[in-house]
Structure 1
Amino acid sequence: MAQERDEEQDRLEQVKVGRRGLLQGAGLGAALSLLGTLGTGAGGLISTAQAAESAFPNHKKWKIVFVNHVTTNPFFVPTQYGIQDACSLLDMDYQWTGSATSDAGEMVRAVNAAIAAKADAIAVPIVDPTAFDKPIQAALDAGIPVFAYNADAPRGKSNPRLAYIGQDLYLSGYQMGQRIVSLIDSGLVGLFIATPGQLNIQPRLDGASEAIKKSGKNIQIQTIATGATVNEELSKIKAFYLGHQDLKGMFAVDAGSTQGIAEVMKENNLPSKGVHGGGFDLLPTTVQLIHDGFLDFTIDQQPYVQGFYTVMQAFVTLASGGLVGPADVNTGLKFVTKDTVEPYLNTSTRYEGKSTKAQILQMRGPIK
């Protein structure tokens, strides 16, 4: 009996070592094999051979091509970390390509190039209502699964992509509009958008405008196009404020414009003048200036999982021969305010794009 207890203790220690290895980046197959030593069967244990049989069989190192509309925008840093982590976990490869300036034609050419190169899967934000219909259908006809991430075809319009992984964009804008009318009773409000008409952000602007109008408050909306680069956005926001210093609020529907608003709010100490501001996403400057009281809120749409879940969907689709996998994933809507910003400010992780280090974080108590 003592020998049996010793053998069981050895197996449990092996499991503990395996768990530590998984958290520290051990190979997936080895980690699954070690974790599998504890499970069902006689005495609650199964053999490592049985565990190995339950893991995914060997497969081609599938490559997924991510076409993007603003390839150098800092918003997509955590998205790329999510892609990298999922590819590492699932033994896949990826390419990051597309346009740096939201040029739909350039993006379509990148999709066509991925088809010609025989990519195993393609992911693309559908930022134009019609430009991606034919190339996506061509990819599907070639047996290449295609997923939309971050931006999807307009509501009610059919696009052949298999699934959408991203935020409900119109709803997020509508809820931002409701937050705006809770802060402002009347006066001029500037709504800033990097690239009007593009489907990753235009639905947010539409939702915000609708919520403000439905409130019945005497709020005058003015929409301002800021551009596709952070420096350009900041310049446009500064210029608008200088020409409309009687405004009551500035709000944005994209990450770069939100950061620009935060900087202008700080530079002119606008909260002390009764001006409110807010927007989307978690660029480091935005997070810091929420903490410092210069911005009322930002909305987190979790860019990390927009990359991670897209890779996982592609993997399951490919591994199952297309039988299972494609499913829409709403990556969420979370208001971040001065009361809830502390963890974002004081934690540097790949999940928010502020660190290159892979790490497992401990829960900090109640989830807000």
Structure 2
Amino acid sequence: MTVFRSHALAMAGVALAVTALSVGTPVAAEKAVPDAAKAHPMPWGEFKLAPRIVKKLAAGEKANIIVGIEGTGIPIQGAEMRIGTKKGCEAANKALSADCRIVGPVNPDTAKQLSELETLLNSGQVDCLALQPPLPNQFTGIINKYADAGIPVFTLNIDAPKAKRFAFYALNEIQAGKINGEATARLVKAKGIEVGEIAMGSGAPDQPWAQARMEGFVAGYKSVFPEAKFFNDSKSGIPTGKNFTTQEVLNSVTPFLTAHPEVKLFFHTDQGVEGVGNVIRNLKLSGKVFTAGFNVSGAILDAIDEGTTLVTIDQGFDNQAQAPVEQCAAYLAKGETPADPLQYLRPIVITKAGGEAELNVAAGRERLKAAR
């Protein structure tokens, strides 16, 4: 939720969840800490690593790498980020000895997430932080507190570019939308599908990440069909439900498609594509109306198999968590930072048959299974 929030909320509950991941064999004690890690020039000023962290690293003690996310119980996202943290920790332990933990409320709760981050900071439990803020720049204050305390911070999934973060890891939302649009248009062309108008909707049509995906989709689709006619543009996405539930999509898209028979393709910016597929089947429009979107569920993959959904994009939440964990280790062990603070990751495209740079449905199911 590039940059975004793209998920359905998990079952009720806001208790904090913490998962510890300790991987690998500790490296040798009395290790020299590079000067580039102790002090590092950043666009916002000089960063100085906390003396307590320098002392730990020099003694060969385990570094505490924390991944703070918006909701550990968010379907797919929470599980995939846990997988990515584990993989990142395995790689991190090749550079230094590290413990890696995922923290955050079970379901999104900004106050609880912020309170936990404050507690971890004040108790000295973090040596490097990878953080998913709830909204763009929403956690600027706490990020700056961490940086001022000598703790490196990397953001993932949602950025805080005004804060003292080192780098950001996520999709490039416009690029991801464009890739989706191109893949969708290629399938439309290959299958000889007659598309009248194309509509676009979102659970959060006013959010930058959603508008960027719609903007990219239009550009990608028009790269194949320059004269394609769109019912709406990226600034006027059809709202399909702020809670990102399938029922909300059914309630909003059913009357829309009924009232607009000229619309033959409906692009959805998030997992609401599952609901759009249900609407198409319920209205007995299969083979006449199609959809494409983002995120993965069993129902979305079933719809791809059936031909109702042409394309979906797995955002690679595991990759978004793995990359900053590895970068934490690279900084603490070597003082390395990315040359470009915007570290965009390639989206994972899923179509029925798969193809070059695409997964097929079977491969998509394997990824989904691992995230359960």
TM-score tier after normalising by the smaller chain length: 0.5 to 0.7
Q: Residue deviations 1:268-297, cap 9 Å, x none?
A: 44332x212111133232223212222111
Matching residue of 1:270: 285
Match of 1:289 in 2: 303
Distance 1:267 1:318, change over 3 A: farther
Q: Call closer, same or farther: CA 1:339–1:161 in 2, change over 3 Å.
A: same
- Alpha-carbon offset, residue 162 of structure 1: 0.8
Q: Give me the whole-angstrom Cα distance separating, in 2, the residues matched to 1:135 and 1:116.
A: 11
Alignment of 1:181-220 (within 5 A): 183=188, 187-209=196-218, 215-220=226-231
Q: Does 1:173 align with 2:177?
A: yes
**1:130 is the counterpart of 2:130:** no
Q: CA deviation at 1:186?
A: 5.9
Between the aligned partners of 1:111 and 1:29, the Cα distance in structure 2 is 28
Letter in 2 for 1:219: F
Question: Structure 1 residues 210, 343: closer, same or farther in 2, change over 3 A?
Answer: closer
Structure-2 separation of matches of 1:240 and 1:224: 9
Q: Any idea what SS the aligned residue of 1:264 has?
A: helix
Q: CA RMSD in A?
A: 3.7
3-state SS of the aligned residue for 2:138? coil
- Alpha-carbon distance in 1 for matches of 2:194, 2:114: 44
1:309 is matched with: 323
Count of paired positions: 299
1:67 corresponds to: 69
* Aligned residues of 1:189 and 1:248 also touching (Cα < 8 A): yes
Return the match for 1:260 from 275, 278, 283. Answer: 275
CA distance in 1, matches of 2:303, 2:277: 6
Whether contact under 8 Å (1:167, 1:331) holds in the other structure is yes
Out of 103, 106, 127, the residue aligned to residue 120 of structure 1 is 127
Q: Report the 3-state secondary structure (helix = DSSP H, G, I; strand = E; otherwise coil) of the residue aligned with 2:309.
A: coil
- In the alignment, structure 1 residue 236 sits paired with structure 2 residue 249: yes
TM-fit CA distance, 1:76:
3.4
| TM-score (norm. length: structure 2) | 0.67
Cα distance between partner residues in 2 of 1:164 and 1:284: 30
- Secondary structure of the 1:92 match is strand
Alignment pair present for 1:319 and 2:333: yes
**Is residue 186–residue 219 contact of structure 1 (8 Å, CA) maintained in 2?**
no
The TM-score, its normalising length taken from structure 1, stands at 0.67
Larger radius of gyration: 1
C-alpha distance in structure 2 between counterparts of 1:333 and 1:124, whole Å: 20
* Correspondences of 1:15-54 after superposition (within 5 Å): 28-29=24-25
How far 1:165 sits from its partner (Å)?
1.5
Most deviating of 203-212 and 130-139: 203-212
Distance 2:83 2:346 in 1: 18
Where does residue 360 of structure 1 map in the other structure? none
Unpaired segments ≥5 residues, structure 2: 1-21, 27-57
User: Do the aligned residues in 1 keep the contact of 2:352 with 2:360 (CA within 8 Å)?
Assistant: no
Residue 274 of structure 2 contacts residue 299 of structure 2 at CA under 8 Å; is this kept in 1?
yes
Partner of 1:97: 104
Question: Residue 228 and residue 27 in structure 1: after superposition, are their counterparts in 2 closer, same or farther (change >3 A)?
Answer: same
Identity over the aligned pairs, expressed in percent?
A: 20
Distance (whole Å) between structure 2 residues aligned to residue 275 and residue 133 of structure 1: 43
State the alpha-carbon separation in 1 of the partners of residues 156 and 213 from structure 2: 16
For 1:29, give the aligned amino acid: T
- In the other structure, the counterpart of 2:37 is none
Amino acid at match of 1:122: L
Report the secondary structure of 2:369's partner residue. coil
Please tell me the residue identity of whatever aligns with 1:299.
I
Matches of 1:175 and 1:27, distance apart in 2: 36
- Partner-residue secondary structure (3-state), 1:29: coil
Q: Quick check: 1:81–1:353 contact (8 Å CA) kept in 2?
A: no
Q: Which of the pair has the greater relative contact order for Cα pairs under 8 Å at 6+ separation?
A: 2
Structure 1 residue identity aligned to 2:254: Y
- Cα shift at 1:249: 1.7
Structure 1 residues 269 and 148: CA distance shift in structure 2, 3 A = farther
TM-aligned CA deviation for residue 244 of structure 1? 2.6
Asked if 2 retains the 8 angstrom alpha-carbon contact of 1:187 and 1:220, the reply is no
Q: 1:218 to 1:356 in 2, by over 3 A?
A: closer
The reply to whether residue 142 of structure 1 matches residue 149 of structure 2 is yes
